[in-house]
Amino acid sequence: MNHKHFPTLLGTVCLTVGLFAASPTVLLAQVKTDGIPTRDQVGALNLPADIAPIEAPFDMPRLTRPQFKADTLSITQTGAKEGKMATRAIQKAIDRMNRQGGGTVLVPAGVWNTGRIELKSDVNLHLAEGAELHFSGNIKDYQPAVFTRNEGVELYSLGALVYANGQRNIALTGKGKLVGPPQDCEIQQRQMRGGVIETYIDVNTPVEKRIYDGKRGKSVFLPMFVSPTNCRNVLIEGVSLESTPFWNVVPVYCDSVIIRGITVHSIGIPRGDGIDIESTRNVLIEYSTLSCGDDCFTMKAGRCEDGLRVNKPSENIVVRHCLAEKGHGGITCGSETAGMIRNLYVHDCVFDGTGTGLRFKTRRNRGGGGENLTYERIRMRLSGQPFVWDMLGSKTFVGDLAIRLPARDITPLTPSFRNITARDIIVESGTQFIKAQGIPETPVENVRIENVTARTDKLMLFQDVNGMTLKNVSIECPDSLIRLVDGRGIRFEQVHFILPEGKVSLEKEGELSRDPEFIRCLMRPQK
């Protein structure tokens, strides 16, 4: 292991300290923070009435709200009564409106008990202000089993509390609330436990035989909260979700999805993700507030061999003007990545109290990965790392695949992350500024982080990274260590380091590690 200390002023290898000392102003990072939103400017409380045009660094179709006939049918007209199970009445109203050519099914103010609800084409399920849908925790209320995707694997189980399959022009709207079942309910008690999903499902078993319906005392896979599947032109707007059994809002195999102005609260719920985009394309998420038991905004694309078989990417996704509060990650790509996550644009968001900021997560057996991912104008106050790549995982979940060396042969199941840009970012607090752990056979490549001001507890780790540039960055940190483990192609350009002794300590490990390149950088001690 090699240790190096660099002088206070750094240039490229061929330049002298004296040259920069003569003109120090050219070294200062000119970080512009104008236009980076604050907490009070984003999230559900700031939802505008109209959807602004979508701008993205890739071709993105124009997305518009689904349109519905003017007809309205209240669930009370089909027999719903407070204090009694209203599942049949709610579903009767949805089915009737669908048969009549569409319209709005109204859930009026009050508390309504229900089991699974299935949305149908050309119907808007609208929750009035003061309306609450309380979902049962009994397995029988979600039978028969329906087609779903659970953690990236296709199967038949409980599906979702609010479900749709193969529908067009559907919506869930209003100022009302959806409340999931208690955590000690039958569904929770009889969930599949004890290992990753590959433990239960043989990839060679036909999907139609992967049935986990809970009959005869058998276990079930936890249902999502709201999951349109194989649907087109979907709107989820304004509603609040609490106490989910599993992931909250999960479009699967959908096209043209708008999620705006929703509020999610699932703190303390294991795997209580906020919004998971699962092999879905052409998506707008805006002005939403998520506080979660797991990741907040998550992009997924199928898992392992089953995900490769399906081979559907998540692509053309815009996340804007959103607020992530509690949660493992502000916005996460993975860990299911088989079909690829591509063309993601996140801008004008705030992560306040979240664990990690920008999180890239996969495993050696997950396949695919992510590319063409852009993040702009983001403010972070974190309990973890602002930028983290976690691509190996742990032996608990993937066995020996988590052992870093030796490098493995590249196969269709080998994932990679590349072509990532993050700019115009304020990190108010965090642990380690960058924790990048790639895979030896597919290192993290072509990452650019620029125009950032940050205060963190530690500096940086580059493990199995081949190409990362930091430009116009100001970072203040009580730690001075930059660690490279087979890290190369690391470039610091016009980076302002504010460190305890005004020095960077470089630690290198691995034959592939190379000294970073420092260009027009400044180092000064903390005051």
Nearest to 106 by CA among 176, 195, 193: 176
Question: How far is 361 from 303, CA to CA, in rounded Å?
Answer: 12
Question: How far is 139 from 506, CA to CA, in rounded Å?
Answer: 56
Question: How far is 375 from 370, CA to CA, in rounded Å?
Answer: 14
Question: How far is 281 from 60, CA to CA, in rounded Å?
Answer: 10
> What pLDDT sits at residue 16?
25
Q: What is the DSSP letter of 394?
A: -
DSSP 3-state of 392: coil
Residues across the chain: 527
H or E element in which residue 34 lies:
none
Contact yes or no for 380/455 (Cβ under 8 A): no
Residue with tokens 């078993």: 205
Question: How far is 263 from 35, CA to CA, in rounded Å?
Answer: 24
DSSP 3-state of 431: coil
Contact yes or no for 148/181 (Cβ under 8 A): no
What backbone torsions phi and psi does residue 42 show, to the nearest 5 degrees?
Answer: -130, 175
Amino acid at 70: A
Query: What does pTM read for this prediction?
Result: 0.94
What tokens does 4 get? 């190096």
Contacts of 526 (CB under 8 A, 6+ apart): 476, 478, 498, 499, 500
> What pLDDT sits at residue 193?
85
| Straight-line distance from the first to the last Cα atom of the chain, in angstroms, rounded to the nearest whole number | 31
Contact yes or no for 384/356 (Cβ under 8 A): yes
Q: List strand residue ranges (DSSP E) for 355-480, in order.
A: 356-361, 369-382, 387-390, 416-429, 432-437, 444-455, 458-476
Contacts of 424 (CB under 8 A, 6+ apart): 32, 33, 35, 36, 376, 377, 378, 451, 452
Kindly give the residue spans of alpha helices, DSSP state H, lying in 288-406. 304-310, 395-398
Question: How far is 102 from 116, CA to CA, in rounded Å?
Answer: 20
Per-residue pLDDT of the chain (527 residues; tens, 9 = 90+): 455 544 333 332 322 222 233 233 444 566 777 899 999 999 999 999 999 999 999 999 999 999 999 999 999 999 999 999 999 999 999 999 999 999 999 999 999 999 999 999 999 999 999 999 999 999 999 999 999 999 999 999 999 999 999 999 999 999 999 999 999 999 999 999 877 898 889 999 999 999 999 999 999 999 999 999 999 999 999 999 999 999 999 999 999 999 999 999 999 999 999 999 999 999 999 999 999 999 999 999 999 999 999 999 999 999 999 999 999 999 999 999 999 999 999 999 999 999 999 999 999 999 999 999 999 999 999 999 999 999 999 998 899 999 999 999 999 999 999 999 999 999 999 999 999 999 999 999 999 999 999 999 999 999 999 999 999 999 999 999 999 999 999 999 999 999 999 999 999 999 999 999 999 999 999 88
Q: What is the DSSP letter of 515?
A: P
Helix H, strand E, coil C: the string for 82-123 is CCCECHHHHHHHHHHHHHCCCEEEEECCEEEEECCEECCCCE
> What pLDDT sits at residue 21?
30
> What pLDDT sits at residue 28?
52
Contact yes or no for 278/259 (Cβ under 8 A): no
Residue with tokens 């890739």: 58
